[in-house]
Structure 1
Amino acid sequence: MSHSEDLLSAWVETVEDYAIILLDTAGNIASWNYGAERLLRHTEAEVLGKPSKIIYTEEDVANGVPEQELNTALATGRARDERWHVRKDRTRFWGFGFLSVLRAEDGTPRGFVKAFRDLTERKRMEDELRRQAEDLRDVDRRRNEFLAMLSHELRNPLSPILNSVYILNNRFGSHDPMIMTTCKTIERQVMSLKRMIDDLLDVSRIAKQKLVLDKRPVALGEILRHAVDDVRPLATERHQELTLRMDATADVLLEADPVRLVQVFVNLLTNAAKFTESGGKIWLTSRLEAAEVVVEVRDSGVGIAPDMLARVFELFTQADHSLSRRQGGLGIGLALVRNLVELHGGLVEVHSDGPGKGSVFVVRLPVLPKKVEAEAVADGDTGAPDAPSRRILIVEDNVDSARSLGLLLELSGHETFVAHDGPTALEMARELRPDVVMLDIGLPGMSGYEVAEVLNRESDALLIAMTGYAEDEKARQAGFQHYLVKPIDRDDLLALLGDGPTAPR
């Protein structure tokens, strides 16, 4: 043995953290350093001449792993070794290292060297992290299921409440100002709760990248006026001055999902109203800058501290928790605003000179090129005459929802019939031949999807899905022409039937 080999052998013997084992060409142990004695708890004398398989688990030995490693090292020069190993007392540890072939000057194999160390603790930590990640995925899955169920269970009772309010206001509101005011208050609070449910579910869908925009050319003025109409009752209740100024941008077209953009500006205006004192002012303004439209929501409210400006769009962030608790809210509205604006290819930012000095939220959105805008206007709907009375079949297992919706539609001159389950609905549809079928998705037994598939084969009726789950892709696949989320907005419904104001979607 040369001097250099003597030095190498001496160094190998002193290594404590790595087990270093020399094997002959048959895979039998020829040398065993101190690190191997510490890790594997055999003395060198106990293992010399024995096959290396004594340090492998029984299952690896049965699967030929020791031989596979030797063959890999012979073929490629080195084999990675990361697996469970066994000590003298048969306890296991996770070993990580390599097996390399040793060759003579003429290339003939002289044996092998196996070097590895104990990484059991790292393996345990990695397994624990994987387990935690799986637990988090399971929690996320159950959370989403809970949110969907919560949405359904909260929306269902809201439907008959809102329908009943519409009916009361229609029948008696014009004769009694107190009834009209009370109905408007209930309607406003129901829709506020509906928006909170929508926001919560939308944040979850965006996080899972499952929120799909239904884009079409839409006028900015239509969006902003709709948002102002939605928020004005809140501003009026708080004695706030809400001003809309569009500076010749009302007819500018955007490629956008109108429902989602209305949601953006309703959230910003609601936020401004909540954090502006009674008697304060809120301005919604818009202007053109090159190929963008810039929309600002400015208020004279409580303002935002400098250290909070960078965080206001984060989920569940509220600048003043005591004030937030008094004003309500979940701390998700601004996070949703940012995500929806970015999905439209835009940007949103916030400015404030500090507490007590108000704030301004700036939304920048791309506008349609002039050529596309002209084509969109040329192809636009010029309006249609009111539709005649429709024969409508309402399929809803909630008796109060079905009855109140029927009454509401009858007040608009339609003829209505009610079924509370799928089979009954199919029998009535075959007999009555309705023009429209309003079909609840979550029917007991035969689901609304299944009923819709049969109706599509047997009838040419307009199918409108009604649901509290707020997911519409499956409804489209089942053949529904329209999709309404509970509680159903009366104007949206009448617009679908052709005898009400045009809804934004």
Structure 2
Amino acid sequence: MIRSRAAVPQLDAARKPHEPRAMSDAQYHALVDAIEDCAIFMLDLNGCITSWNTGARKIKGYEAHEIIGEHLSRFYPAESVARGWPEYELKQAYATGRFEDEGWRVRKDGTLFWANVVITAARNVEGEIIGYAKCTRDLTAKRAEQEKLRLSEERFRLLVESVSDYAIFMLDPGGHIASWNTGAMRIKGYQPSEILGKHFSTFYCPEDLAASLPEIELQTAIRTGRVENEGWRVRKDGSLFWANVVITAVYDEHRVLRGFAKVTRDMSERKRLEQLEVSSRRISEFLATLAHELRNPLAPVRNAIGVMQMETDMPPRIAWCRDIIDRQTSHLGRLVDDLLDMGRITTGKIDLRMARVDVSDIVARSIELVHPLMDERAQSVVTKLPSEPVYVTGDGTRLVQVVQNLLNNASKFSPRASTVKVEVEREASALLLKVIDSGRGISQKGLSSIFDLFVQEDHYLNPGEAGLGIGLTLCRSIVEMHGGSISAASGGLNHGSTFTVRLPYASADDAPRPHRVLGQTATQAVSSGLRIVVIDDNQDSADSLAMLLQMKGHDVRIAYHGKEGLDVVRHFPPELVLLDLALPDIDGYAVLRTLRSQRLIGRAVVVAMTGFGQDSDKERSAQAGFDAHLVKPVDFEVLDRLLERMARG
């Protein structure tokens, strides 16, 4: 170590024989001079440099002869010198014996480095301060890493805080909220000042709190490092949302638990779609079976109507009743068809059979359909219609369905012996059809969601009156497909409700379409009757269809079971077999296989006749070898075309 001429206090040379030998001055100075990673040098009381080691030469760039005797301020930036920082450091070291600081220092070549500086007061044997020892370490690389880490953490913090689709926040080891990002504010509704320091169990439902779910999640995260689940969570306003939650335990480098990172996603829309999908699938499966069961009793009714329509000598009153049954059976058959495709209901994709229809006729048919319900409740309907016919272009059955649904609702949610009004008004560009009741009414909150799928306003529905929750949604879909709109208004609970349907007028050049007439022409075209076997376990359906076919001039045999049908065919070789698929002993597919394998039918036509009418059902029957697929109740026009085709050979 290069020293100035200033004397260094001598060590006490006297020592006892058993004491270890003290380090000599030369050894001490050699040790200090050999240190390369720390600048170690002495200052006099004025702050001038009196010694200089290898580390000082390496860190600061000066040789000893260039710097000894110079003031320590040579190493400080101009700004520090201007504010007297070097003198301040010496004063603090003199007053307290030691001073430590970090800051920018200047090398010989003018470059800056970040330094850790320790100045210690040097004393003689009498305890008087005779100068200072100064140690300087170059921490530039370390500071750069720390700054890089700080900037990375700052960028990460800014990134997390700016995320709005995810609630990202930290919990302390006890589960209390320590940070709060923009997404957390948006999803959960709390401002940071409202939630920081609160326990995260604030977001859990009462049943989850009772089951200690928050504590279980934290313990699981500690045990496994991470836990993920989904469930209902509570917003600030008390509303629920379906959340995907990930909690990760956070440890320091010594594996000490520092807290938890929690990420929450609002999955309410996905949950709603999943629930809709499950509900739609279950309802579709149920309705497919229901439609089949409804078609079985509808079939004999339609067949009986066909028989009655072929009677020429019928009293007018009975004919009038027959026509009502025909219209209502047709209407019911159409609705059963639509039940098979729940997708059309949930998406509003319902095929419309458009025609020019009189709104007064729509109202009359709708009232006719709700009479049984309203009579049971001693209720009445009062209409207010224009004096002249008003026409719209639409599907009459669907528009009847809309008005009927509104009347049903009005009846169900109105007192006994009350009156429901149906008013039709003309506007400049649209027709208004209003259904007005004096019943329980709808709350303001309910008005905003009453037309949503599967929504049933609690205060609007009577106990026990709940349905599928699709009625008003279907009404809205049908009306909108007609280019119109539907709205609800109410003065509040117990102040009644008004549903208003707006529909555009029919254009002047829309011509009325003729009603369908039963196929008498096809019947007359059958000059010689066919040999027909009807196999159906529904006796009313089989008997009524056989009677209708016999009245058309055909020779018919009936069987109510599959095996019985095989016996009938053996003794009565048919030209046409109408075969039900759902038979009690062996199904229609097995009957067909037997007929084919035993060569009992030759070139006869075999037609599947069933209540199942989905495309997949028709594909299956075709693959099984059936020549055609008729859906119950059998459409007379379809049946007549089949008979006419067979009669022509």
TM-score scaled to structure 2, two decimals?
0.42
How many angstroms apart in 2 are the aligned matches of 1:380 and 1:120? Answer: 69
Structure 2: which 5+ runs fail to align? 1-108, 114-139, 157-223, 227-245, 250-260, 309-323, 593-602, 641-649
Displacement after TM superposition at 1:348 (Å): 0.5
1:369 corresponds to which residue?
507
Displacement after TM superposition at 1:252 (Å): 1.0
Q: Is the 8 A contact 2:284 2:339 kept in 1?
A: no
Name the SS for the 2:452 alignment partner: coil
Matched, 1:296 2:429: no
Matched, 1:229 2:368: yes
Displacement after TM superposition at 1:480 (Å): 11
Displacement after TM superposition at 1:210 (Å): 7.3
* CA spacing shift, 1:265–1:281, aligned 2, 3 Å: same
1:153 corresponds to which residue?
289
Q: Is the 8 A contact 2:366 2:404 kept in 1?
A: yes
* CA spacing shift, 1:244–1:409, aligned 2, 3 Å: farther
Out of 586, 611, 625, the residue aligned to residue 467 of structure 1 is 611
Displacement after TM superposition at 1:298 (Å): 1.7
How many angstroms apart in 2 are the aligned matches of 1:441 and 1:126? Answer: 54
5 Å matches for 1:401-416?
403-410=539-546, 412=548, 413=551
Displacement after TM superposition at 1:236 (Å): 1.9
How many angstroms apart in 1 are the aligned matches of 2:372 and 2:283? Answer: 29
* CA spacing shift, 1:162–1:238, aligned 2, 3 Å: farther
How many angstroms apart in 2 are the aligned matches of 1:157 and 1:240? Answer: 31
Name the SS for the 2:501 alignment partner: strand
Out of 309, 312, 335, the residue aligned to residue 447 of structure 2 is 309
1:282 corresponds to which residue?
420
How many angstroms apart in 2 are the aligned matches of 1:260 and 1:447? Answer: 39
2:481 corresponds to which residue?
343
How many angstroms apart in 2 are the aligned matches of 1:395 and 1:433? Answer: 11
- Give a deviation string over 1:340-394, Cα, whole Å, max 9, x none: 22233221001222333322211112233212x1xx33x6458577464897968
- Give a deviation string over 1:286-312, Cα, whole Å, max 9, x none: 233234222211223332233322222
* CA spacing shift, 1:475–1:219, aligned 2, 3 Å: farther
* CA spacing shift, 1:143–1:279, aligned 2, 3 Å: closer
Matched, 1:353 2:491: yes
Q: Is the 8 A contact 1:243 1:283 kept in 2?
A: yes
What amino acid maps onto 2:413 in structure 1?
F
* CA spacing shift, 1:292–1:475, aligned 2, 3 Å: farther
Identity level (%)? 23
Out of 143, 147, 171, the residue aligned to residue 11 of structure 1 is 147
Name the SS for the 1:325 alignment partner: coil
How many angstroms apart in 2 are the aligned matches of 1:299 and 1:193? Answer: 30
Out of 397, 404, 407, the residue aligned to residue 266 of structure 1 is 404
How many angstroms apart in 1 are the aligned matches of 2:392 and 2:581? Answer: 35
Out of 434, 444, 463, the residue aligned to residue 325 of structure 1 is 463
Matched, 1:219 2:354: no
Q: Is the 8 A contact 1:284 1:296 kept in 2?
A: yes
Q: Is the 8 A contact 2:440 2:460 kept in 1?
A: no
Name the SS for the 2:432 alignment partner: strand
How many angstroms apart in 2 are the aligned matches of 1:365 and 1:386? Answer: 37
* CA spacing shift, 1:497–1:315, aligned 2, 3 Å: same
Displacement after TM superposition at 1:150 (Å): 1.7
TM-score scaled to structure 1, two decimals?
0.52
Structure (1 or 2) with the larger CA radius of gyration: 2
* CA spacing shift, 1:260–1:481, aligned 2, 3 Å: farther
Q: Is the 8 A contact 2:433 2:501 kept in 1?
A: yes
How many angstroms apart in 1 are the aligned matches of 2:467 and 2:272? Answer: 29
Q: Is the 8 A contact 1:281 1:300 kept in 2?
A: yes
Q: Root-mean-square deviation (CA), in Å?
A: 5.8
Count residues in correspondence: 355
Displacement after TM superposition at 1:219 (Å): 0.6
5 Å matches for 1:22-37?
none
How many angstroms apart in 1 are the aligned matches of 2:337 and 2:581? Answer: 18
Q: Is the 8 A contact 1:203 1:332 kept in 2?
A: no
